[in-house]
Chain A
């Protein structure tokens, strides 16, 4: 059909424009990070820089260890947070899927209610700082808000309810399997898709989080994640100099710091893991959104 063909051409034009809009800022970021700093200051950020340079990256990886340190924190945080968060989310979701469980309705409601109402930032902050004293510790990055949320629990629960046949588990019990074994050997392998998706949501949440560090790490800047470091950087390029390994290094650096391009190079480094894993996680991610979007 002619009208079909016209629509397709129109569609490709519109989508090309939108796709370009989506990717161009990232390309500008990448190019700026490889632009000579003087060129940047003279001409601004540009897609076609006069002079290229990798000195920003050299600077990042040789100027003391604040970037490497923050990167390490982010990696540890993401791995530890995802492992713990995924474990407790899956266990709770599995438990709530058990129809025979006395009190199942009340427990499900208690989980669900946290989606409707919350105490807000101020009581949460006071709770974690004064009662648990996690301010200025690594736990402040990992525990508040990110570890588990009701939405993910309920998604796991409905997956177990709808996709794992009860008969299969019953058969295992008859064969003498304990609840623990039935969960690990039968339910969990069948739940791989949802576990992968939830793990992805949690992991991206941790890698991208800057709020916990911003709120709770008031003194221990050595615990900053890469996002916190980036956040601090855009506010103050001095920060990097203060953290240079030696004083003389900092003094020398004063004149030579490729300040503008360094910021961009750090942002590239911060975004890199997401871009690298993106092609592998994309399908799971899309599936998870479809699953969660229709019904929580």
Chain B
């Protein structure tokens, strides 16, 4: 490269760097500045000294965190809920995508529009909707279903045993329209002549689905599932915090790493414990995302994130 060429490139690059600058500054403030803050988990935090001035505590915070029942409960809840979400969402998303791909016209569009709508609602609104059904005094289920059947009203926000089902259902309800979109667009891209040939050979619809659609969809299913598995250490804070109305009686079945970190920081004022749980999540989460992506890259380099 000649000197003149290099100078010309540099001259062209300056306005481009200026364009990049605001975004880079934001990432620096929002993402990079807090990163070294993870050392807080190894410190005995004193507000007046700040993160960096506080005395070191070694692994004391972690030892304390893992000696409590909490560490086990939040890890179990986060992972188990995510696993169930992944399986349930997959089955429904693929099922709905297959059905929608066979339908045509206005009805199809209508179904698709309506089932996507819940995805756009905030967690607060979702908590209102759930409350309308589950409120002990005024709820639809207690008043309009259980009462006419002569059954006792249920204090939903106090009873742990229902919540795994409620949360899985709410998660499915909110995400189904979103989750089926990628599968649907993949199916629509399949070669129609395969189906026509199968149809001429007398294959039933069911056979076409199991013998053509599902095998062709397999790579997409595997990729999306692996990506979701990579994020298994993160939970939807709104779902686990807002929908159960932060009800203390439900903590054993609703507390995840994210809600634990939040409560430690802002409700219990236990900043170091909260930071320790946060680092635990960041590190394990990082390893999982990397591993999932490594697997994806092995199977299909095109779909890998990096």
Q: CB within 8 Å of B: which residues of A?
A: 1, 3-4, 6-8, 10-12, 14-16, 18-19, 21-23, 25-26, 28-29, 32, 40-41, 43-47, 87-89, 91-92, 94-96, 98, 100-102, 107, 110-112, 114-127, 130-132, 143-145, 147-148, 150, 153, 178-180, 183, 204, 207-211, 215, 227, 230-231, 234-235, 260, 263-264, 267, 270-271, 274-275, 278-279, 282, 285-286, 289-290, 293-296
Contact = CB atoms under 8 A, between A and B. Distances in A.
B4 interface: no
Chain B, interface size: which category? 35 or more
A228 B199 CA distance: 55
A231 B23 contact: no
A179 B15 contact: yes
A294 B33 CA distance: 30
Interface of B: 9-10, 12-13, 15-17, 19-20, 22-24, 26-27, 29-38, 40, 50-51, 95-96, 99-100, 102-103, 107, 110-118, 120-125, 127-133, 135, 137-140, 142-144, 173, 176-178, 181-182, 185, 199, 204-206, 224, 237-238, 242, 245, 258, 261-262, 265-266, 271, 274-275, 278-279, 281-282, 286, 289-290, 302-303, 305-306
Contacts of A180: 15
16 contacts: A11-B102, A25-B173, A44-B140, A111-B24, A114-B27, A121-B265, A122-B40, A123-B37, A126-B51, A143-B30, A208-B124, A209-B122, A231-B124, A267-B128, A270-B122, A271-B121
A51 B75 CA distance: 48
When A and B form their complex, which 8 residue pairs have the shortest distance between CB atoms, in order from nearest? A123-B37, A44-B143, A92-B23, A120-B278, A119-B34, A208-B122, A95-B20, A123-B34
Contacts of A295: 302-303, 305
A22 to B, nearest CB: 5
Contacts, number: 294
Given A22-B117, A92-B22, A227-B124, 5 more contacts: A25-B133, A95-B23, A101-B17, A121-B262, A294-B303
Nearest to B278: A120
Identify whether the interface residues of B are mostly helix, strand, loop, or mixed.
helix
Given A19-B110, A230-B128, A234-B131, A102 B205 contact: no
B34 A127 contact: yes
Given A15-B103, A45-B143, A286 B181 contact: yes
Nearest to B34: A119
A278 B245 contact: no
Contact of A215 (B51, B173, B266): B266
Contacts of A87: 22
B30 A296 contact: no
A127 B120 contact: no
B43 to A, nearest CB: 11
Contacts of B117: 22-23, 26, 275, 278
